Amino acid sequence: MEACADLPFDVQLHRVPFFLEPDYAPGYRESHQTRMVRKFGSAERFEAFKKGHGLVPRAAEVGVEWTEQQLSARVQSSTLRSHRLVQWASKRHGNGAAEALYTAMGRRHFSESGVLDDLEMLMAAAGEVDAIDVEKARAFLGSDEGVKAIL
């Protein structure tokens, strides 16, 4: 959003849920490597894609320090909980809180191998956002509120 600061109009970001793997059931998990080999059809094709894509060097260009080891250590899971939590934070606390939560969840997932379906990881990320009451967030995720809106 900093890039928009000099524009002669206001810009607001609103996240819309998107499932990369809509068939993942809550609780299902698989390694990043397994998912990518399935997606690309072979380990060789996945490796060729990674070399051509250059995610790690491109991230470094914008100040994000990732390693191939960090990215490979990720565990893929359903993102329903994380999408619900971001939408809840946005509705209750505004886009600023939702973006701070999204950033904390992203760091925990991409840099620390946190699982986006893991309740405790999500609560730890929520705990990083001053506006969010972690127990209220936990209670929300313990309900079925917001599920239909995400699906």
Q: What pLDDT, on the 0 to 100 scale, is given for residue 22?
A: 85
pTM of this prediction?
Answer: 0.83
Q: What pLDDT, on the 0 to 100 scale, is given for residue 44?
A: 95
Q: What pLDDT, on the 0 to 100 scale, is given for residue 16?
A: 78
- Residue 5 confidence (pLDDT) above 80: no
Which residues touch 106 (CB under 8 Å, ≥6 apart)? none
Query: 3-state DSSP call for residue 53?
Result: helix
Summary count for the chain: helices (H), strands (E):
9, 2
Which residues touch 69 (CB under 8 Å, ≥6 apart)? none
Which residues touch 62 (CB under 8 Å, ≥6 apart)? none
Q: What pLDDT, on the 0 to 100 scale, is given for residue 89?
A: 96
The tokens for 107 are 């760091």
pLDDT digits (tens, 9 = 90+) for 28-85: 999 999 999 999 999 999 989 988 888 888 888 988 888 888 888 889 999 999 999 9
- Residue 4 confidence (pLDDT) above 80: no
According to DSSP, residue 24 is labeled P
Q: What pLDDT, on the 0 to 100 scale, is given for residue 7?
A: 82
Cβ atoms of 62 and 23 within 8 Å: the answer is: no
pLDDT digits (tens, 9 = 90+) for 13-32: 777 777 888 889 989 999 99
pLDDT digits (tens, 9 = 90+) for 94-134: 989 999 999 999 999 988 889 999 999 999 999 999 999 99
Q: What pLDDT, on the 0 to 100 scale, is given for residue 1?
A: 59
